[in-house]
Amino acid sequence: MWRVLLILMLMVVPIGAQAQQNSWWEDGCDARAVALIEPTEGQFDYGAACAAYRTCDPNGEGDFRCQMIAFNTLLEQCPAGDAICPKTAMLYAAAILAFDMPFGESIDWIPPQSIRDGVPVALAAFQAGDYGQAIEAYQMTPFVVESGETMMPFSRGVVYEMLGESQAALGEYASVFQVEFEHPLAWYARAQLYGSLGRTDEASFDAESLAIFTGDMPELAGLVDDLKAQYPLDTNKVQDWLMYPVESTSFGVGGTFFADHTLEAGRPVQVGFYVDLDAILVIGVSRLLGGGSDDDYRWVQLLNGADDGRYRLDYPSYWDNFGSLILTIEDEHLSGSESISYFEGAAAFEFVLVPASFPDPRLSLEDHRLCAGSVRSRVTVGSFVETPWHGGDPIPLYGVAGGGEIGGSPALTVIGGPECIGSVTWWEARDTIGNTGWFPENEGNQYTVNPLAEEPTQANTCPLMPRLTEGGTGRVIVGLGANNMRSQPSANSALVAAIPEGEVFTVEFGPTCAEGIHWWQVTYGGLAGWTAEGDINTYWVEPNG
């Protein structure tokens, strides 16, 4: 029995010991980081800050809002009237994420030696009042936007403030926002710096950003309320407006897709015109940055006037992501667009802003809505349309509007309609080989087709270059399986036969472009039918000889 107990005791390893055995570092609350920082902590209980951080972020994902909770824990340890202690608390809060891998986790992440050496030295020097040495220690890790590291420039900004170098501090904070737009600790620090410089409007922008970003965190309510009370928005400059969404676009390797948002209700925002700063403050506009529903976050945007009269805010550019929000003043309203680009794709959102007392500015667009509750139509009889999918799903064709599917084509010519069934706009169309049917222009508020500039032909609807020739012979490529022969140039038509790998057939007529594929009329084994040459980038057959 005692042997079993001994084995069980050996199997139970304390959590701290497990962390020590890992080759990778989680963050500044990793036992190895704590061992480096605790000797410098002076009046602070760094372990208590880590406990608060871990409670908020148990999986160690590197949460900036949880970092604010840790900062608040440190701030509460500062004596009243001590002006240096809050700055020190910022640096210890920064240390929690200084040892973290930017934008994710990795089982082989180890902080650079410059951070492992520099952060403890900087903290100790700052505590001793040697701000010059603290700057040198924090400068051991240079700022590189692509690395996604924000804690070193943030920490340098705090130290530069203590050195009285305000412009250098603002430059460091700008570097932080160049990497990460959602940085509450930097909002807090910069608000305090703006306030000390008498730039209270700008201080109120950062205070409002912090309030909106952490609005659902009761642990920070006191901290945030104090900052907002210290730097309130100038209500004389802020008015109640409404944002009316118009259209959204997304595109990438899958295709290009549009949606009509003109039936959505306007959403309340606040707009402040700061003529002295050549800036517009907009609260409640940003749609794409949150990555979720419109209600996830309400944002504050500071837009600096551009030379062309537009107000623009560029979002951080890191890895493969970047974006911008642009507002243009037009008479009594603002037209806006927000866009973000990411790996292999992008998205955009168009909207209009008007004072709350104004009517819906989108009423002038109603003439384009041919069916009640449907999208604003982008086609008419005589228009050409194509599938939004890149080399993928064809536009489905139906025997009658709202009826059963009879086929499909990557491009169509509109020959009749519209017909309204519920909130769907239906059109009659003809494909490239003369088949006719009906297609729905929308599915909800999403468009199912995109306008095509020219009449669909074999050349502009089938991307794969044909290699077979009429009167010649072809061969099924070995290794890809048999190639089907069908009664019509469509994958949905009846199967006539299967031509085995390596077998030769005679090409009688073609090609015919349908469903994004070149089809050839061929004969094999005494049978006639249609066979496909390949898909968007792969040939299934080849010329014989």
Paired with 438 in beta bridges are 398, 428
**CB hemisphere CA count around 222 (13 angstroms):** 7
pLDDT at res. 2: 35
pLDDT at res. 495: 92
Fill in the DSSP letter of residue 266. P
- Distance from C-alpha of 416 to C-alpha of 410, rounded to nearest angstrom: 18
8 pLDDT above the threshold of 50: no
- Distance from C-alpha of 519 to C-alpha of 470, rounded to nearest angstrom: 12
5 pLDDT above the threshold of 60: no
pLDDT category at 9 given cuts 50, 70, 90 is: very low
Q: What is the dihedral of CA 289, 310, 246, 240, to 10 degrees?
A: 80
Query: Domain 238-367 carries which CATH code?
Result: 2.40.128
pLDDT at res. 232: 95
> ω into residue 418 within 30 of 0, thus cis?
yes
391 pLDDT above the threshold of 70: no
pLDDT at res. 10: 34
- Class assignment of domain 19-230? mainly alpha
The tens digit of pLDDT for each residue in 124-148 reads: 999 999 999 999 999 998 776 556 6
Paired with 182 in beta bridges are none
Full-model pTM: 0.76
How long, in residues, is the chain? 545
User: What number is the average pLDDT over the span 197-207?
Assistant: 95
Would you list the DSSP string of 292-352?
Answer: S-TTS---EEEEEEPTTSEEEEEPP-BTTBEEEEEEEEETTEEEEEEEEEETTEEEEEEEE
Average pLDDT across the chain, whole number = 87
- Distance from C-alpha of 316 to C-alpha of 330, rounded to nearest angstrom: 27
Paired with 335 in beta bridges are 328, 352
At 111 the three-state DSSP class reads coil
| Closest residue by Cα to residue 148 from 179, 115, 183 | 179
Q: Are 436 and 406 in contact (CB under 8 A)?
A: no
Backbone torsions φ then ψ of 442, nearest 5 degrees: -145, 160
| Closest residue by Cα to residue 376 from 417, 448, 425, 440 | 425
Portions of the chain given CATH number 1.25.40.10: 19-230
Is residue 398 left, alpha or beta, with left meaning phi > 0 and alpha meaning psi from -120 to 50? beta
Portions of the chain given CATH number 2.30.30.40: 463-543
The set of residues, in sequence order, having a beta carbon less than 8 Å from that of 175 and lying 6+ positions away, is 143, 145, 150, 153
**CB hemisphere CA count around 227 (13 angstroms):** 28
Q: Which two tokens stand for residue 511?
A: 């090609």
Of 67-71, 448-452, 456-460, 536-540, the one with minimum mean pLDDT is 456-460
Q: Are 147 and 94 in contact (CB under 8 A)?
A: no
291 pLDDT above the threshold of 60: no
User: What number is the average pLDDT over the span 390-414?
Assistant: 88
pLDDT category at 459 given cuts 50, 70, 90 is: low
The tens digit of pLDDT for each residue in 31-40 reads: 999 999 999 9
Q: Which two tokens stand for residue 492?
A: 């949905």
Q: Are 348 and 245 in contact (CB under 8 A)?
A: no
7 pLDDT above the threshold of 50: no
- Distance from C-alpha of 359 to C-alpha of 464, rounded to nearest angstrom: 51
% of the chain residues with pLDDT over 70: 89
pLDDT at res. 1: 37
| Closest residue by Cα to residue 440 from 423, 452, 453 | 423
Backbone torsions φ then ψ of 225, nearest 5 degrees: -60, -40
Of 67-71, 228-232, 325-329, the one with minimum mean pLDDT is 325-329
- CATH architecture for residues 463-543: Roll (2.30)
Q: Are 75 and 89 in contact (CB under 8 A)?
A: yes
> ω into residue 489 within 30 of 0, thus cis?
no
Would you list the DSSP string of 452-485?
Answer: ESS---HHHH--SPP---TTSEEEEPTTS--EEE
Q: Are 305 and 230 in contact (CB under 8 A)?
A: no
At 47 the three-state DSSP class reads helix
